[in-house]
Amino acid sequence: MAARSRTLKDAARDITSALSAGEAGGGMRKALFAAVVGFLLVTAASTGATLWFMRTERIESATHINKSLALVIQEQTAEVLAGAERTLSRAAERLAWEQGVGAIAEEAARAALRASLANSRFLRAIFVLDARGRIAFDSDIGNIGVDLSDRQYFRVHRDDPKRGLHMGDPVVSRSVGTWFVSISLPLLSSDGRFDGVIVAALELLNLEKVWGGVDIGENGSIALVRRDGTLYMRSPYREGLLGKTYPFTPYFTGLMEAAPAGSATTVSPVDGKIRIVSYRVLPAHPDLVLLVGRSMDLILAPWRRGVAVAVAIWLASAAAVGAFAFWLQVVWRREQTGQERVGKELRESESVASASVAEFRALFDHLPVGISESTVDGRIIAVNAAWRRMYGYGATDAVAGIDAAGFWADSSDRARMFDQLAGEDHAAEVEALRNRRDGTKFLAELHTRGTVDADGKLQKLRSIHLDITDRKRREELAAARHAAEAKYSTMFDTMPVGVMETGPDGSIIAANPAARRMFGFGENEDLSGVSIADRYADPADRARIFAEHLRAGGKPMRFEVRRRRRDGSVFW
């Protein structure tokens, strides 16, 4: 510090001597002014570029998260629609079976339809139209015989009996006052002719309950729309929006035509908010599009706070430089007043400049993500504190000049990064296995931008390092869990012996195909209303088995009993 102070003093003395030389002094004053202005412009441009880079990275990261949220919500929505379709199919199969046994009475049909509704959280009513469009069966009372042949869902299936699930326009229920949409499937005779339609009312507000488990932040929105812009459901729900059409912009329409999923920044036609919107077309329903939007204000709020800090630091630095320039002018004017006063003011200026540099370094070191700057050949220039912790270096360990190539566990990942950096934007984003100082490895996501000279040649690399080991581990555990569940389901369904899961009251929770054949039940028959207690030839056997289980403390046991099939026949 003492050597630096002497150097600044000598420079000040040389400058003031030159300024005192009359005409030459005027040239020096102009050069000093130009240097100050140049410094301020360069630092402003550098700070602005860094902030813009951070903004871009923030938006790109938010877009990536938005796409993930859209995928999760799309899967939830698709499962709701698939569940509704399964309920309709099972209800139709049950009615067909009842009719195959004999003519089905209105009350029996209503009971069957209501039993199907009991297994669905999202459907409110189910009814069946005959081939002329009249209500043949209904889960509600008082509608049998009503002519609905003018309804869109009837005309659609009548004109195209091979069409699958159809969703109508959102409407308000006249009976309960809630928004719902009709979903329907065609009914075909044994020879493939159109034989009617089975229709259900899907209450749209239930979708908001499904979506409510996903946090999209303040002023975020989720919407299910048709490709023509018709709004089926929006969360948060607002009265008067459902059923209206909000046409997509040509740009957004072009995105959906190019790919079934994507993202764009857009202004909402509903509330005028600017959001990053990720869309996904539902694979089973290509006319339906799911939109997930998160507020740009919320996404950029941390960045804006960083901008405020950076601008404050730059202003402090600019003030320090201005003070230094002003001080030189004072020195020139008051050279004769003595070197002591000059030295004092110089020390004050040094203190201000050092404080500004310290503040900027503090901002750099306190960022929660690892940041590094290196040469193109891999030599580290600078790193922040988060990077040191990530790679196992202490706060005082020397890292400048270390070969950054040694941190790549697989050199092909480094080559892949340079392939991306060769693009027009000189940016790269790679996931790669990295080496720490102690030789342990971790999975990282690197966002890198290169600075180039006038000829477009890379000069330096600036990288943001994110440790994604825990995130990847969670994804792998989730995949393993899904695989295990699928394996259990396959084993359950393909076992050659009958397997059942029942409740304490004897109600059947699940039964594999072998058990269904053993007791005479259909492969897809709904067993929710069937009790295994009724399948004992001698009811006393059930009480005896329960008593034996209690005495055995729940251990597996083997019994031989006579059971009764659905048709009344008895087997061991």
pLDDT, tens digit, for every residue of 304-353?
898 899 898 988 888 888 887 777 777 666 665 655 565 666 677 667 65
Residue 23's pLDDT is 44
Residue 379's pLDDT is 92
Q: Mean pLDDT, to the nearest integer, of 559-569?
A: 87
Nearest-angstrom CA–CA distance, 205 and 225: 14
Extract long-range pairs of 314-320: CB within 8 Å, 24+ residues apart: 314/43, 314/44, 314/47, 316/352, 316/355, 316/356, 316/359, 317/43, 317/353, 317/356, 317/357, 317/360, 318/40, 318/43, 319/352, 320/349, 320/352, 320/353, 320/355, 320/356
Residue 12's pLDDT is 52
Nearest-angstrom CA–CA distance, 499 and 522: 15
Q: What is the pLDDT of residues 484-527, one digit of tens each?
A: 777 777 887 888 888 888 887 888 888 889 888 888 888 888 88
Q: For residue 100, name the pLDDT band (cuts at 50, 70, 90).
A: low
Q: What is the pLDDT of residues 438-493, one digit of tens each?
A: 999 999 999 999 988 888 888 899 999 999 888 888 888 888 888 877 777 788 78
Return the minimum-mean-pLDDT range out of 115-119, 193-197, 391-395: 115-119
Cα separations in angstroms, 106 against 141, 147, 221: 10, 17, 44
Is residue 217 within 8 Å of 294, Cβ to Cβ? yes
Residue carrying the six token digits 């042949």: 149
Nearest-angstrom CA–CA distance, 444 and 437: 15
Is residue 47 within 8 Å of 41, Cβ to Cβ? no
Nearest-angstrom CA–CA distance, 247 and 240: 17
DSSP state of 464: E
**What values do phi and psi take at 467, rounded to 5?**
-80, 110
Residue 358's pLDDT is 66
Return the minimum-mean-pLDDT range out of 234-243, 396-405, 438-447, 469-478: 234-243
Is residue 87 within 8 Å of 121, Cβ to Cβ? no
With a CB cutoff of 8 Å and minimum separation 6, the contacts of 558 are none
Q: What is the pLDDT of residues 426-439, one digit of tens each?
A: 899 999 999 999 99
Residue 13's pLDDT is 56
Q: Mean pLDDT, to the nearest integer, of 240-248?
A: 80
Paired tokens of 562: 């006579």
| CB atoms near residue 137 (< 10 Å) | 25
Nearest-angstrom CA–CA distance, 74 and 214: 12
Helical pair 2-19 and 339-366, crossing angle rounded to 10 deg: 120
Q: Mean pLDDT, to the nearest integer, of 349-373?
A: 72
Nearest-angstrom CA–CA distance, 390 and 37: 39
Query: Average pLDDT over the chain, rounded to whole?
Result: 83
Q: Mean pLDDT, to the nearest integer, of 208-236?
A: 85
Strands of 370-375's sheet in order across: 380-383, 370-375, 458-467, 441-452, 427-435
Q: What is the percent of the chain with per-residue pLDDT over 70, rounded to a whole number?
A: 88
**What values do phi and psi take at 217, rounded to 5?**
80, 175
- 3 state SS of 240: coil
Nearest-angstrom CA–CA distance, 106 and 139: 10
C-alpha angle with apex 122: 532 to 241, nearest 5 degrees?
Answer: 175
Decide which of 11 and 27 is more confident. Answer: 27
Nearest-angstrom CA–CA distance, 239 and 247: 19
C-alpha angle with apex 522: 519 to 527, nearest 5 degrees?
Answer: 75
Is residue 314 within 8 Å of 43, Cβ to Cβ? yes
Is residue 363 within 8 Å of 376, Cβ to Cβ? no
From the list 11, 40, 43, 22, the residue with the least C-alpha distance to 328 is 11
From the list 343, 316, 498, 476, the residue with the least C-alpha distance to 12 is 343
Q: Mean pLDDT, to the nearest integer, of 101-123?
A: 81
Is residue 170 within 8 Å of 245, Cβ to Cβ? no
Q: Taking 70 as the threshold, does the pLDDT of residue 95 lie above it?
A: yes
Q: What is the pLDDT of residues 266-305, one digit of tens each?
A: 888 888 889 888 999 988 888 889 889 898 888 888 888 9
Q: Mean pLDDT, to the nearest integer, of 365-385?
A: 88
Nearest-angstrom CA–CA distance, 361 and 374: 17
| CB atoms near residue 268 (< 10 Å) | 17
Paired tokens of 339: 């070197």
Is residue 391 within 8 Å of 407, Cβ to Cβ? yes
Q: Taking 80 as the threshold, does the pLDDT of residue 65 lie above it?
A: yes
Nearest-angstrom CA–CA distance, 84 and 184: 10
Is residue 137 within 8 Å of 128, Cβ to Cβ? yes
Which of 184-188, 255-259, 355-359, 503-507 reaches the highest mean pLDDT? 184-188
Residue 14's pLDDT is 56
Which of 234-238, 246-250, 308-312 reaches the highest mean pLDDT? 308-312
- 3 state SS of 103: coil
Residue 24's pLDDT is 47
Nearest-angstrom CA–CA distance, 557 and 246: 64
Alpha-carbon Rg for the chain, nearest whole angstrom, is 37
Chain-centroid distance of CA 53 in Å reads 23
Q: For residue 106, name the pLDDT band (cuts at 50, 70, 90).
A: confident
Is residue 385 within 8 Å of 395, Cβ to Cβ? yes
Identify residue 562 by its one-letter amino acid code.
Answer: R
Residue carrying the six token digits 């994804």: 475
Q: Taking 60 as the threshold, does the pLDDT of residue 249 lie above it?
A: yes
Residue 22's pLDDT is 44
Q: For residue 1, name the pLDDT band (cuts at 50, 70, 90).
A: very low
Residue 15's pLDDT is 52
